[in-house]
Amino acid sequence: MTSHPSAVTRFAPSPTGRLHVGNIRAALGNWLWARKHGGRFLLRLDDTDTERSEERFVDAIRADLDWLGLVPDAEVRQSERFALYERRFDELVEGGRIYPCYESTQELELKRKVQLGRGLPPVYDRAALALSDADRARLEGEGVRPHWRFRLDHDAAIGWDDLIRGPQSFDPATMSDPVVRRANGSWLYMLPSAIDDIDMGVTLVLRGEDHVSNTALQLQMFDAMGATPPSFAHEALLTGAEGKLSKRLGSVGVDTFREAGIEPEAVRALLARIGTSDPVEPIRDAGQLAETLNFARFGRAPARFEEAELTQLNARIVHQLPFDVVAARLPDGMDAAGWDAIRPNLSTVAEAADWWTVVEGPVMADIAAEDREFLVAAATEAAAIDWAGDPWHALTGALKAATGRKGRALFLPLRRALTGRDHGPDMAQLLPLIGRERTIERLTA
């Protein structure tokens, strides 16, 4: 694996709710990139919204990442970094790149309506820049507390080479100076995020394409702070049956996956390849997923998340799981031989319990009248064969010779009597688990 220790990525959720599919996909991509380049993956908790951030969501985010195997190399919390933000803020105010604004929400909304009514884009008119020191003193004397905007440089287009979307260009004159701090002193997302990316040495930001315009604004913030920006990659958003990251899809997260019996390897394997030209495959090895991560193979079209595809992929992952990985989740008494026999028929590990009842019994079988004499003969042969070797083929071979039955007429009545089902695990593996006594008992029941 390529060593590139300077590679630093971050996942920056707000602890105001549970992680959903889109969050998990962003975390995975950043984790894989850091792993591919031998770098560091950081968890940054964007908890500046003190009213909505909750510690239970912090714990849930950590637990979800741990379940997915996306263990961060370090964790920071924005709520512990306010002193750093204040220093940078003061520097930008002094340099004229952040300025106070005194319009109310209602006044700003009225301005937008007027601009739209005139067929103009609803861009902030920078009226606050025309205020004199006396005007500002008067407003503040009247109890008006300012909010603060970052002043965009209109002299040159904003551009960057996006690792997924290719060359990007924005005209800053068509964009409003973004509000970076509210009148109550609390921070909005973009400035603290840029400050953190500088301070933490982040070299790549992978996130959804809904952040493209934010990136344009933040690039000027990096420049204003004299910093080299990280590389940016914006992946197409996920869609579900109900449209772009619909309300239902937006609630699908780790809890949903775990309750459905989905393995974390299946989630990783699907979300690492969805929306790319690489095939979705049941790859358990995270290192293999990381090594094949290539932004050039990411598509621009929305990526469709299908729960049915995840379910199918999960079954293929389950069929690979060795006994020691799942032993703690298996029913009492199931050993490695039992797991190997039952595993190919499972969609989830939890289904092993259902099949283990087939082994241990009791089973109820609906036997056709024409098969009952055949099963009596089968019980006799089962008592006579050598169970030390391959009892299934010994039993069916003896019955074929004794009764002349073959194919479905031979195998189906036996399977039905022994398991109560018409389909299931390979009987050559299952019969030794059922054992001699239970086999004879079921055939004569």
Which domain does 335 fall in, by range? 321-360
Distant-in-sequence, close-in-space partners of 19: CB < 8 Å, separation ≥ 6: 13, 27, 60, 61, 64, 65, 253, 254
The enclosing H or E element of 166 equals: strand 166-170
> What phi, psi does 70 have (nearest 5°)?
-100, 70
39, 8 contact by CB (below 8 A)? yes
**Quick one: 242 and 200 in the same domain?**
no
Please state the rounded mean pLDDT for residues 183-212.
97
**Quick one: 332 and 311 in the same domain?**
no
pLDDT 10s digits, 128-172: 999 999 999 999 999 999 999 999 999 989 999 999 999 999 999
Average pLDDT of the chain to the nearest whole number: 93
pLDDT given for residue 249 in this prediction: 57
**Quick one: 219 and 121 in the same domain?**
yes
**Quick one: 113 and 229 in the same domain?**
yes
**Quick one: 20 and 30 in the same domain?**
yes
The strand pairing partners of 42, in sequence order, are 10, 74
**Quick one: 229 and 244 in the same domain?**
no
The verdict on residue 399 lying in a domain is yes
- Is 111 annotated to bind a ligand? Reply is no
253 token code pair = 């997260």
The verdict on residue 2 lying in a domain is no
pLDDT 10s digits, 207-262: 999 999 999 999 999 999 999 999 999 999 988 765 444 445 556 788 889 999 99
Residue 348 has pLDDT above 90, yes or no: yes
Assign 212 to helix, strand or coil.
helix
The verdict on residue 342 lying in a domain is yes
**Quick one: 294 and 408 in the same domain?**
no
The enclosing H or E element of 150 equals: strand 147-150
pLDDT given for residue 253 in this prediction: 82
Domain boundary among 206, 235, 264: 235
**Quick one: 137 and 69 in the same domain?**
no
The verdict on residue 3 lying in a domain is no
Residue 427 has pLDDT above 70, yes or no: yes
pLDDT given for residue 3 in this prediction: 43
The model's confidence at residue 2, banded by pLDDT at 50, 70 and 90, is very low
pLDDT given for residue 6 in this prediction: 83
pLDDT 10s digits, 39-83: 999 999 999 988 889 999 999 999 999 999 999 999 999 999 999
310 token code pair = 């995840």
Domain count, the chain: 4
pLDDT 10s digits, 17-31: 899 999 999 999 999
**Percent of the chain's residues with pLDDT above 90:** 88
299 token code pair = 């598509």
